[in-house]
């Protein structure tokens, strides 16, 4: 009988090999290798993880020929540089459909951001423009990113969106506000014929703000701090016309406004009513302007409003005047220049 282990020819009837002492009984020889139990918890977990990874990879690792250009090597860098304007990089490498698609969507989001300025939906449209810009960059780098894991590609997309928002779009918005600043009229202002609470306005930024203001200028200004509970302003800002410049004598008697002893012209009158104001007298010194608080809410609690408090909030220093109000953006039905 031949030994299955060493091949030695043994005499019939022996139970073990004379050379290697291996068993010669065929029933003692294992011919089926052992396998891991299908009931083990780790085996089940590994199977589930592999199935989820396979499905996720098929969903996220899709390919659309005109959306994900197959660009590698030296060609990708010129295309990436032109993607500073979303879509131009795709047009450069011949993917015109994708390029015009990205450019159109990006311009649409920017236009909607401008048309809704300044409202609560404006940041959402701006985020759409940033997301489109990031998608255009990722599309140009699709071949390079295809070798990365799915988690790394998702992380790259999130970081790219944040970088574009904070390092590109936010500085551009900050630069634009040096020229024009959009605001929403605070709710604490009494409704008037010129502006209503909630209107979207634009006033001059720091670089367009004049050195001196004139009577009749409609300005957005910061209200000087006051003491006591007779006067309050929700946001600490006001909106009204300048009625007195340095050197003027301004008085309010019986609700009538006089500037240098004469009634001002209609375009130089406050946009609110002066009938609720007490009798006041102003001598405007250098670096100050007279802006009567005709649109601000008063809360008396049965206590008379002190004249010195009204005098203080009516004489804001020049630095407190943030700029002249130029345009009304919202609502669209009253869009236009404010006179």
Q: Are 10 and 17 in contact (CB under 8 A)?
A: yes
Q: What is the rounded average pLDDT of the residues 11-25?
A: 75
Query: 186-204 pLDDT, tens per residue?
Result: 776 767 778 887 889 999 9
Distance CA 178, CA 191 (A): 29
**pLDDT score recorded for residue 282:** 86
Between residues 311 and 158, the one the model is more confident about: 158
Position 32 confidence tier, pLDDT thresholds 50, 70, 90:
low
Between residues 68 and 21, the one the model is more confident about = 21
Res. 331: pLDDT tops 70? yes
Distance set, CA 161 to CA 89, 126, 236 (Å): 18, 12, 35
pLDDT of residue 232: 47
pLDDT-derived band at 85, boundaries 50, 70, 90: very high
pLDDT at 71 over 70: no
pLDDT digits (tens, 9 = 90+) for 218-273: 999 988 766 554 444 445 788 899 999 999 999 999 889 999 999 999 999 998 88
Question: What is the model's pLDDT at position 64?
Answer: 41
Listed residue (325, 316, 321, 272) closest to 298, CA to CA = 272
Q: What is the mean pLDDT of the chain?
A: 81
Structure confidence by residue, pLDDT tens digits, 273-291: 888 788 888 899 999 999 9
Provide the pLDDT for residue 148. Answer: 67
Residue 125 scores a pLDDT above 90: yes
Tokens encoding 243 = 């009625």
CB-CB neighbours of 13 under 10 Å: 7
| pLDDT higher than threshold 80 for residue 107 | yes
Residue 220's CB: how many other CB atoms inside 10 A?
Answer: 21
Which residue in 71, 56, 55 sits closest to 138, CA to CA? Answer: 71
Q: In 3D, which of 70, 92, 68, 66 has the Cα closest to residue 80?
A: 92
- pLDDT, position 233: 45
Please indicate whether residue 217 or residue 303 has the higher confidence score (pLDDT). 217
- d(Cα 47, Cα 198) in Å, to the nearest integer? 58
* pLDDT at 302 (0 to 100): 42
User: What local confidence, expressed as pLDDT, does residue 268 receive?
Assistant: 92
pLDDT in tens, 137-186: 988 887 777 666 777 878 888 999 999 999 999 999 999 999 999 988 87
pLDDT recorded at residue 153: 79
pLDDT in tens, 53-63: 666 655 555 44
* Confidence at residue 262, expressed as pLDDT on a 0 to 100 scale: 92
* Of the listed ranges 93-107, 214-228, 230-244, 297-311, the one predicted with least confidence: 297-311
């Amino acid at each position: 009988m031949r030994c299955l282990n060493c091949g030695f020819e043994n005499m019939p009837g022996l139970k073990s090999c004379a050379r290697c002492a291996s068993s010669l009984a065929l029933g003692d020889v294992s011919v089926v290798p052992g396998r891991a139990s299908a009931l083990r918890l780790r085996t089940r977990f590994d199977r589930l993880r592999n199935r989820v990874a396979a499905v996720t990879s098929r969903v996220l690792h899709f390919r659309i020929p005109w959306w994900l250009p197959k660009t590698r090597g030296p060609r990708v860098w010129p295309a990436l540089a032109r993607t500073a304007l979303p879509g131009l990089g795709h047009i450069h490498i011949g993917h015109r459909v994708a390029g015009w698609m990205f450019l159109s969507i990006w311009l649409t989001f920017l236009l909607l951001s401008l048309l809704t300025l300044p409202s609560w939906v404006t940041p959402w449209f701006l985020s759409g423009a940033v997301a489109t810009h990031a998608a255009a960059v990722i599309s140009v780098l699709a071949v390079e990113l295809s070798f990365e894991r799915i988690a790394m590609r998702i992380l790259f997309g999130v970081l790219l969106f944040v970088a574009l928002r904070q390092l590109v779009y936010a500085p551009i918005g900050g630069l634009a506000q040096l020229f024009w600043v959009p605001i929403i009229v605070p709710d604490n202002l009494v409704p008037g014929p010129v502006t209503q609470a909630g209107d979207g306005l634009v006033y001059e930024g720091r670089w367009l703000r004049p050195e001196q203001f004139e009577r009749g200028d409609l300005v957005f200004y910061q209200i000087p701090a006051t003491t006591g509970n007779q006067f309050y302003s929700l946001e600490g800002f006001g909106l009204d016309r300048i009625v007195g410049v340095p050197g003027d004598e301004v008085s309010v008697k019986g609700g009538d406004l006089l500037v240098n002893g004469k009634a001002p012209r209609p375009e130089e009158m406050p946009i609110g009513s002066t009938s609720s104001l007490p009798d006041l007298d102003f001598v405007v010194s250098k670096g100050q302007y007279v802006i009567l608080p005709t649109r601000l809410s008063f809360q008396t609690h049965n206590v008379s409003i002190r004249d010195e408090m009204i005098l203080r909030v009516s004489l804001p220093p020049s630095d407190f005047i943030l700029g002249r109000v130029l345009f009304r953006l919202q609502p669209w039905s009253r869009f236009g220049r404010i006179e």
